[in-house]
């Protein structure tokens, strides 16, 4: 069940209220905006436009956070945890500065690959020296979370660092395109922090547009089994903001996008590779059409909440060809005027 707790100009916040979901350590929300809907619906959005939109939305969320959150923050206690590469896309450091006029909050960069072998957390900005947390730390995180393995390892490292240096973790704020794994990991982390740190207040999780499912096992549509990438976020069976669900009817290709974000790192920082991947994806979908799969069949498999009749009669093959042309145009050299 979604409770409407905030409505502003092009931003709505819903609180997730579920049976048995009364843990006082964690609050879960779904946030919807035009920009975050466009990211999910239109795979042509990439590069600076993609990361800039995420930063803009992160700023808006942080601005309204004090209206309904019980958590308290101080500038000098704030630490932005950037899990490389996807975490950088959200621009949380800049979003905090714009939302609260902060200047002295810290930034921490962590590469999950380091965590497989290194005993301590290492950071890019300080030439891979152990990072010094403030005496009391508020963690701000933006990330794409499917399985959540990288987030889990990162938080474990931060907690170990805090314990070893007699620091306190006060609270955690997460903004994510993510699955239910995000809150499962954060709830486990919150319980651990509550036991370890006297001043721990809790966790706020903001899902962008929905709490999505993961593309594995039965959630991969039958037609997509051969090309399905495991552990990607998908629309099917997700808990969605009503505005996002309604937005699927704006264009016929929106509800047949296979994944929510695809590879966020490439989408932001290697857009040419990302666009080529998108072209291949739509060529695979075009092949499904050539093999006899109809638009109605594909919607039923990928996003059964959608009523395909509302789009009228759609030719899947033609739809794919048109979208491939639009994607290829993005790779054409720009002529300066």
Q: Tell me, what's the pLDDT at 334?
A: 79
* Average pLDDT score over residue span 284-294: 96
Q: Looking at the domain 2-212, which fold is it?
A: Rossmann fold (3.40.50)
Q: Is residue 208's pLDDT more than 60?
A: yes
Instruction: Quote the tokens at residue 130.
Output: 């152990």
Please choose, from the candidates 99, 102, 18, the residue with its C-alpha nearest in 3D space to the C-alpha of residue 65.
99
Confidence of residue 229 (pLDDT cuts 50, 70, 90): low
Q: Tell me, what's the pLDDT at 84?
A: 81
Residues 6+ apart with CB under 8 A from 238: 210, 211, 212, 213
Per-residue burial over 168-198, b = 16 or more CB atoms within 10 Å of its CB, e = otherwise:
bbbbbbbbbbbbbbbbebbbebbeebeeebe
Q: Tell me, what's the pLDDT at 205?
A: 98
Instruction: Quote the tokens at residue 240.
Output: 């969605």
Kindly report the pTM of this predicted structure: 0.91
The percentage of residues in the chain with a pLDDT greater than 70, rounded to a whole number, is 88
- Strand, helix or coil for residue 12: strand
What does pLDDT average to over the chain? 90
Q: C-alpha angle with apex 117: 111 to 121, nearest 5 degrees? A: 50
Please choose, from the candidates 136, 87, 135, the residue with its C-alpha nearest in 3D space to the C-alpha of residue 108.
87
89 burial (CB, 10 Å; 0-12 / 13-18 / 19+) is buried
Read off the pLDDT of residues 102-155 as tens digits, 9 standing for 90 and up: 999 999 988 765 444 444 444 443 333 446 799 999 999 999 999 998 899 899
Lowest mean pLDDT among 14-28, 144-158, 288-302: 14-28
* Average pLDDT score over residue span 250-265: 95
Q: Tell me, what's the pLDDT at 123?
A: 40
CA–CA separation, 116 and 98 (whole Å): 35
CA–CA separation, 235 and 248 (whole Å): 11
Q: Regarding beta strands 106-110 and 26-32, do their DSSP bridges make them parallel or antiparallel, or are they unpaired?
A: unpaired
* Average pLDDT score over residue span 85-105: 96
Q: Tell me, what's the pLDDT at 224?
A: 56
User: Distance from first CA to last CA of the chain, Å, rounded?
Assistant: 52
Per-residue burial over 219-255, b = 16 or more CB atoms within 10 Å of its CB, e = otherwise:
bbbebbeeebeeebbbbbebbbbebbbebbeeebbbb
CA–CA separation, 308 and 285 (whole Å): 17
């Amino acid at each position: 069940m979604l409770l409407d707790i905030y409505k502003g100009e092009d931003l709505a916040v819903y609180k997730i209220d579920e049976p048995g979901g009364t843990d006082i350590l964690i609050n879960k929300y779904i946030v919807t905006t035009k920009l975050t809907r466009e990211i999910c619906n239109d795979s042509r959005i990439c590069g600076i436009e993609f990361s800039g939109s995420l930063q803009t939305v992160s700023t808006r969320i942080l601005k309204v956070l004090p209206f309904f959150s019980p958590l308290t923050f101080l500038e000098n206690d704030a630490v932005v945890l950037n899990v490389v590469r996807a975490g950088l896309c959200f621009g949380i450091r800049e979003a905090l500065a714009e939302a609260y006029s902060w200047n002295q909050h810290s930034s921490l960069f962590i590469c999950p690959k380091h965590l497989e072998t290194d005993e301590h957390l290492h950071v890019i900005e300080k030439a891979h020296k152990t990072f010094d947390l403030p005496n009391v730390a508020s963690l701000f995180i933006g990330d794409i979370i499917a399985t959540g393995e990288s987030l889990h390892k990162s938080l474990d490292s931060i907690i170990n660092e805090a314990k070893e240096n007699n620091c306190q973790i006060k609270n955690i704020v997460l903004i994510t395109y993510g699955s239910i794994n995000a809150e499962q990991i954060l709830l486990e982390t919150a319980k651990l922090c509550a036991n370890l740190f006297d001043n721990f207040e809790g966790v706020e999780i903001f899902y962008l547009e929905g709490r999505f499912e993961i593309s594995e096992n039965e959630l991969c549509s039958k037609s997509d089994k051969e090309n399905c990438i495991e552990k990607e976020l998908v629309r099917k069976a997700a808990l969605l903001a009503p505005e996002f669900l309604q937005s699927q009817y704006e264009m016929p290709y929106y509800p047949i996008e296979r994944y929510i974000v695809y590879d966020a790192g490439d989408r932001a920082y290697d857009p040419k590779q990302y666009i080529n991947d998108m072209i291949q994806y739509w060529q695979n979908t075009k092949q499904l059409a050539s093999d006899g799969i109809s638009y109605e069949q594909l919607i039923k498999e990928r996003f059964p909440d959608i009523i395909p009749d509302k789009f009228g009669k759609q030719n899947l093959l033609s739809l794919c060809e048109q979208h491939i042309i639009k994607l290829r145009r993005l790779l054409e050299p720009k002529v300066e005027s």
